[in-house]
Amino acid sequence: MDERLDQVYARVAEQLAARAGPLWEVALTLHGDPEPAFEEVRATHLLAGHLEREGFSVQRGVAGLPTAFVAGAGDGGGPRVALLLEYDALPGLGHACGHNLIAAAGLGAGLALHEALPSLPGSLLVVGTPAEERGGGKVVLAEAGAFDGVDAALMFHPGVHSWSWAPLTASAQVRVAFHDRAAHPTGNPAEGIDALAALIQLFNTLPVLSRRLPPGSHVQGIITEGGKATNIVPEYAEGLFGLRGATTAARDELADSLAECAQGVARATGTRAKTCPADAGYDHFRNSAVLAARFTTHLARAGLAASEPVPGVYLGSSDIGTVSNRLPTIHPFVAITDADGSDHTPRFAAAAAGSRAREAMLAAAHALACSAADVLVDPDVSAAAWAEHHHHPDG
């Protein structure tokens, strides 16, 4: 088995060396033409077109998302591996999260492995997942069954660290509204109850709530509706709150605490409060140590090293968390800047088109393709990944 895999690894390396130029052109094309969440029309056409021309069967508009696609190769039997592509950009910042590199690396991994292992002992899927930055395309795809029967979901993310896995929190957007009676502030002030004052009071309770939150939990809010005119006591006020938790359970507990605070403020101010989800939320990320170890080993063979993340450091949230709670998943980081940088910045956007990004993208493509080969060729890898997944159901 190892000898066969060694041959596959060598062919993958040959394929990626031959494709390095075109893959970098894909990354640069995406970088120079950024499209925001759910609007990645040209990116989808570019990526799906490459896969289709090289023999993949492509299904577009998956799960009712016009810019999602699933490209498949293989006979449908045996293990199933999914390489996940992201390609949405940030409004005003372009590819300041490096999704152009995620897309090019996943594309390269899929094309290289397809050539290196022409008689696939299973199924290789390349899944285009839109709207990671806003809207959660992977959540929609997962709920529609796009990952049912898949044994491993593999992707990488550019970053400021090279870490073997991603400490990503659970997140959710929650809307809190206060209702009551409008009135003129001088003509009949006693007849009005100020909904905006109640919402502001809720904001004033957040520092108290935050002091007792566990590590990794966080709440931040904005006012989205605060009245129409200064000479009318607002009868309606609304805030949008972003919640994060180190685990999905911690995030849900925070949502319950926020709702309790809102009801307490409502009782104290004589208003009525309503709390409701504003999105589907992202689960926390569950790393497959079995698959991450494979990726890290292959990444080292491609010339880059990855270490364990720093304990207690959290790097935001992603819809990959929802996928990872359903099946063995990896989401390692590969650095394209020094550790003093940050994504979601103009500096990081520029780095996503630089020479270090090219090196990271090609090394990640190699590690992803070889990790996918491990799952497809060696049944012990998939069995071990699933055993770990079932043994630690909460991550």
- 302-346 pLDDT, tens digit per residue, is 999 999 998 888 878 999 999 999 999 999 999 999 988 889 999
Q: What is the pLDDT of residue 395?
A: 61
The pTM (predicted TM-score) of the whole model is 0.92
Query: What was the pLDDT predicted at 283?
Result: 96
Supply the pLDDT for residue 184. Answer: 47
Domain with CATH 3.40.630.10 in the chain: 2-168+285-391
In b/e form, how buried is each residue of 325-350, taking b as 16+ CB within 10 angstroms?
bebbbbbbbbbbbeeeeebeeeebbe
**Higher-confidence residue: 229 or 262?**
262
Q: State yes or no: pLDDT of 393 exceeds 50.
A: yes
Structure confidence at residue 183 as a pLDDT band (50, 70, 90): very low
So what's the pLDDT on residue 394? 64
- The CATH class of the 2-168+285-391 domain is alpha beta
pLDDT digits (tens, 9 = 90+) for 77-112: 889 999 999 999 999 999 999 999 999 999 999 999
Q: For residue 312, what pLDDT is reported?
A: 81
Confidence of residue 194 (pLDDT cuts 50, 70, 90): confident
| Confidence bin at 75 (pLDDT 50/70/90) | confident
Q: Residue 1, Cα to own-chain centre: how many angstroms?
A: 34
Q: Is the pLDDT of residue 3 over 90?
A: no
Average pLDDT, the chain: 93
State how far the Cα of 89 lies from the Cα of 39, in Å rounded to an integer. Answer: 9
Contacts of 215 (CB under 8 A, 6+ apart): 246, 312
- Cα–Cα dist 393/213, whole Å: 23
**Which of the residue ranges 141-150, 211-220, 319-328 would you say has the lowest mean pLDDT?**
211-220
- Cross-strand partners of 32: none
**% of the chain at pLDDT higher than 70:** 96
| Residue range(s) occupied by CATH 3.30.70.360 in the chain | 170-277
CATH of 170-277, one of 3.40.640.10, 3.20.20.190, 3.10.290.10, 3.30.70.360: 3.30.70.360
Q: Which whole number is the average pLDDT over 132-153?
A: 95
Residue 118 has pLDDT above 90, yes or no: no
pLDDT level of residue 192 (50, 70, 90 thresholds)? low
State the Cα–Cα distance between residues 99 and 27, nearest whole angstrom: 9
Over residues 152-172, the mean pLDDT reads 96
Residue 103's closest CA among 30, 22, 20, 18? 30
Cα–Cα distance for residue pair 126/113, rounded to 1 Å: 11
CA atoms within 13 A on the CB side of 395: 26
